[in-house]
Amino acid sequence: MNAIKNAGQVLERTSQYLDSGLVTKQPSWYKVLAYHPPMFNNTKTVKIQLLKKIKEEEDSRYNEILNVNKTNGFYKTRLTPKQMNKDFLKPEKLRFVEDDIRSLFYRQHPWELADPKVLNENERNLNIGKLDWSTMKQYTKKLDGESVVQRTLYLVRVENTPLYNAYEQSKYEYYRLKIADETESSVTAEQSEMFGAVYNKSAIEYGFDKEMAVLSKWKKDAIALTKVIEAKRANSSASGSNMGENDNLKAEFEGENGEKEEVQEESTEEDIFRKLSKFDEAQN
């Protein structure tokens, strides 16, 4: 009995085995699969055109192998990189309508990506299919771009609305709910402040203050360093103009130092002579 390579032919092959008597007892899944056969054949098949192309390339390669290289006398047996990188057996890239709608929404509304999220939202997103998307507002899910995606799919699949119209409708419903939420939160904050509530800095404000402190320190250091560089440039330019005067002063200074050294040498010889005479008197 040959192995079944195509999973979609299980029912057909099992029927043949039952008719031939190879299988005596009917499997428990036989009637279920007969009433509900698979709608799609997900078996990866190779196109005939690609097989023909590969066959032609193999024939040409076989002919190349048979022909010995006349320069060195060796056969060509190694595949080229082009022959090794065949993509006819690579899996195709999966593409869904949800991904296209999601990328379009966040491309049109990039600031929605700055909305802070928590890990609990990812757990709730797993149950998106169980929510009732006849309305945009959901009490167990935060209003975000995913709400627009699911609402658009609901309008397309259930109410048979064209995709463009469904997306525009979902987008403007999102706008209305977003404006209502922001208005409600601002009014609530004003009422709380009126009754004496005090709000601490948010994470964004705290980070902004830290960033401004670093920038102000950098500005102060940059100004001080700029002043030092300008002072060095001014000194170098002034030293070039006063080079002649400095040479004269240096010569005069060296002359005075020479005279002082001679005086010091004379005084030192006299001191030594006096010390020696005193030493001789003490010995006598």
DSSP state of 46: -
pLDDT at 248 over 80: no
Residue 103: its H or E element: helix 97-108
Residue 173: band (very low, low, confident or very high) from pLDDT cuts 50, 70, 90: very high
**Within 118-242, where are the H helices?**
119-125, 145-157, 163-194, 203-241
Mean pLDDT, rounded, for 8-20: 86
Tens digits of residue pLDDT in 44-59: 666 667 777 777 777 6
Q: Pull the structure tokens for residue 231.
A: 């002072």
The pLDDT assigned to 72 comes to 65
98 vs 104: CA distance, rounded Å: 10
What is the Cβ-side half-sphere exposure of residue 48, based on CA atoms within 13 angstroms?
Answer: 0
pLDDT greater than 60 at residue 163 = yes
Instruction: State the pLDDT at residue 115.
Output: 82
Distance separating alpha carbons of residues 113 and 107, to the nearest angstrom = 10
Angle at 209 between CA 206 and CA 211, to 5 degrees: 110
Say what the pLDDT of residue 214 is.
Answer: 94
Q: Is the pLDDT of residue 19 over 80?
A: yes
Average pLDDT, the chain: 78
Per-residue pLDDT of 261-270, as tens digits, reads 444 444 455 6
Can you give the pTM of this predicted structure?
0.44
| Integer Cα distance of 150 and 153 in angstroms | 5
Amino acid at 181: D
Give residue-wise pLDDT tens across range 112-156: 888 877 666 555 555 666 788 999 998 888 888 989 999 999 999
* Amino acid present at 215: L
Q: What is the predicted pLDDT for the residue at 255?
A: 57
What mean pLDDT comes out for the span 236-242?
A: 66
Predicted local confidence at residue 263, as pLDDT: 44
At residue 71, does pLDDT exceed 80? no
The better pLDDT of the pair 169, 122 is held by: 169
Of 49, 57, 48, 64, the closest CA to residue 84 belongs to 57
Q: What are the structural domain ranges in the chain?
A: 7-84, 97-194, 205-283
Kindly provide the b/e burial profile for residues 256-281, where b requires at least 16 CB atoms within 10 angstroms of the residue's own CB: eeeeeeeeeeeeeeeeeeeeeeeeee
Poorest-pLDDT segment among 98-102, 204-208, 276-280: 276-280
pLDDT above 90: residue 106: yes
- The torsion of the CA quartet 141, 142, 146, 149, rounded to 10 degrees, works out to 70
